[in-house]
DNA sequence: TAGATTGTTAATCGATTAACAATC
DNA sequence: TAGATTGTTAATCGATTAACAATC
């Protein structure tokens, strides 16, 4: 078995060179936003909408909305707009809600508990079916209606269920969590712990670092200061 | 005052057309990874390293490491590599650790508590100085050594302190939190709540959705199935 | 000098955007 | 038909990558 630290991306990594189907990740990331807005419109009895309205509600440009939706096929009507109900169904289908995806969370600290209780999952066809922690002392505690289970139970829950695994442990425990998930046959893993993990090539591993965006904000803030101070100092000096 | 839902990006939005200084966001996002590896090397007494070694440790290609580091200036030595201590300092400086950035968190549910306790912040020059929740009943509780304060205290803590604001509330409370932050003069906000927020143009608002990457994993999983089933069905049929 | 490794170039790729022809 | 809005095109931008000249 060949192992690497690289993330499985797109359709590369599979045997045959495939015809590059698949919606861009950037579009996939926005689809839930559109769906949320459409659902709200539907609840208010609004039958149809336009790319301009969707764009305004989500906070992007209308051209991006049209480009995004065009990846789902052509469901709009020129001069008219999009049917709210129809478009909602199309997005929901694309987001995998045709099939509900089971999720297990490893690591039941604050972050794991936050994820288990996160409302945004169910609306995206993601169902949390198992919570695990290597501290057997907290096994049995209930979080969001599910019991925390010992790691020993992971294999029986994940095996054959084709789950997505989420690592929400502190950094040092992440490797243990990843190994346990891989050993249980999990092939899709999302890692919230800092640091990089090695998984077999056939496992898709993605990583979210809660501090990254905060970091970027801090650097931009610093740059704003640097820019202002570079603008000012020569004032008064000969041009 | 002009309001919009758009995010402040890069140096656009400021008065003058600036000479496009600033390290790419994608690079900024990776700098903490390099720093973490360098710190570990330093602790083990390793004096110098190479782009290949850093790349292997972080899980990227060496060309990317060299490109990233070149944005910091030329601190490597051809034929030799990078000095661990020197490079660590350069990265730390760039990450804003010359100045420590104060952070306030609004919303002290599980996610807010997870962020308050998140070890990755301090190592990046981010210091949590205030925790807030609109439920006054939990005011006074201590999380990670800090007391939870009522929203009424936000202005006195944030005003003039030039803080970065983090919204960790449930979706419906996010607007209230954003308005309070803006009213207190905060100009950098990270939103973990679902939905979009409107802020004045001079405020940089970034958003993290915990479910987005999970969503992408689910869609990729679905695509893998679709690909496999498209590969199989014609087997046995004339070529 | 010979070997090693950087810093940079140029090709490529994916995402964004404005503009507009197509078409209801 | 006139007006509205989509779907697509082409330009642009930022990020990735391989390759290699520069240089220790």
Higher pLDDT, A173 or B232: A173
pLDDT tens readout for residues B18-47: 334 589 999 999 999 999 999 999 999 999
> What is the rounded end-to-end Cα distance, in angstroms, of chain B?
67
Take residue B108 and report the two structure tokens written for it: 């002290």
Supply A37's token pair: 């807005």
Note the pLDDT tens digit of each residue in A60-102. 999 999 999 999 988 899 999 999 999 999 999 888 766 789 9
> What pLDDT, on the 0 to 100 scale, is given for residue B227?
65
Residues of A in contact with B218 (CB under 8 A): 95-96, 101, 124-126, 164, 188
Beta-strand pair B48-49/B76-77: unpaired
Average pLDDT of chain B is: 86
Set of chain A residues whose Cβ sits within 8 Å of the Cβ of B212: 29, 32
DSSP string, B113-128: HHHHH-TTTGGGTEEE
The answer to whether the Cβ–Cβ distance between B111 and A109 falls below 8 Å is no
Nearest CB among A115, A195, A212 relative to B29 is that of A212
Q: Is A102 on the interface with B (CB under 8 A)?
A: no
Q: What gap in Å lies between CA B42 and CA A160, rounded to an integer?
A: 44
What are the pLDDT digits (tens) for B196-222? 898 998 899 999 989 999 999 998 888
Could you read off the pLDDT of A212-233 as tens digits, one per residue?
A: 999 999 988 887 777 666 555 4
- Write down the pLDDT at residue A95: 85
Please give the biggest Cα pair distance in chain B: 77
**What pLDDT was estimated at residue B14?**
31
**Mean pLDDT of all residues in B169-187:** 95
Residues A54, A123: Cα–Cα separation, whole Å:
19
Asked whether strand C has any atom less than 7 Å from the CB of B78, the reply is yes
Output DSSP code: residue A100.
Answer: P
Distance A79 CA to C21 C1' (A): 13
Low-confidence spans in chain A with pLDDT less than 50? 1-2, 4-20, 233-239
Render pLDDT for B48-90 as a digit per residue (tens, 0 to 9): 999 999 999 999 999 999 999 999 988 899 999 999 999 999 9
CB contact residues (below 8 A), chain A span 149-188, against chain B: 162, 164, 166, 170-171, 187-188
- CB contact at 8 A, A183 and A200: no
**Contacts of residue A218 in chain B, CB cutoff 8 Å?**
95-96, 101, 124-126, 164, 188
- Strand-pair category, B146-150 with B126-133: parallel
The tokens describing A171, both together, are 């950094």
The number of beta carbons lying within 10 Å of the beta carbon of residue B122 is 12
């Amino acid at each position: 078995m060949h192992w690497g630290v690289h993330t499985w991306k797109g359709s590369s990594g599979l045997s045959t060179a495939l015809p590059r189907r698949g919606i861009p990740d950037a579009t996939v990331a926005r689809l839930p936003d559109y769906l949320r807005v459409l659902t709200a419109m539907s609840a208010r009895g609004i039958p149809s909408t336009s790319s301009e309205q969707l764009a305004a509600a989500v906070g992007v440009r209308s051209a991006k909305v049209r480009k995004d939706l065009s990846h789902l096929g052509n469901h709009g009507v020129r001069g008219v707009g999009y049917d709210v109900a129809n478009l909602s169904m199309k997005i929901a289908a694309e987001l995998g809600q045709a099939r509900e995806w089971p999720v297990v969370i490893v690591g039941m600290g604050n972050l794991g508990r936050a994820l288990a209780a996160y409302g945004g999952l169910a609306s995206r066809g993601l169902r949390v079916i198992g919570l695990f922690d290597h501290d057997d002392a907290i096994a049995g505690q209930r979080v969001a209606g599910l019991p925390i289970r010992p790691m020993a139970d992971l294999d029986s829950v994940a095996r054959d269920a084709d789950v997505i695994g989420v690592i929400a442990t502190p950094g040092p425990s992440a490797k243990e969590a990843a190994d346990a998930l891989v050993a249980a046959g999990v092939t899709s893993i999302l890692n919230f712990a800092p640091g990089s993990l090695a998984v077999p090539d056939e496992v898709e591993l993605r990583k979210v670092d809660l501090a990254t965006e905060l970091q970027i904000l801090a650097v931009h803030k610093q740059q704003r200061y640097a820019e202002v101070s570079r603008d000012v100092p020569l004032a008064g000096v000969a041009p």
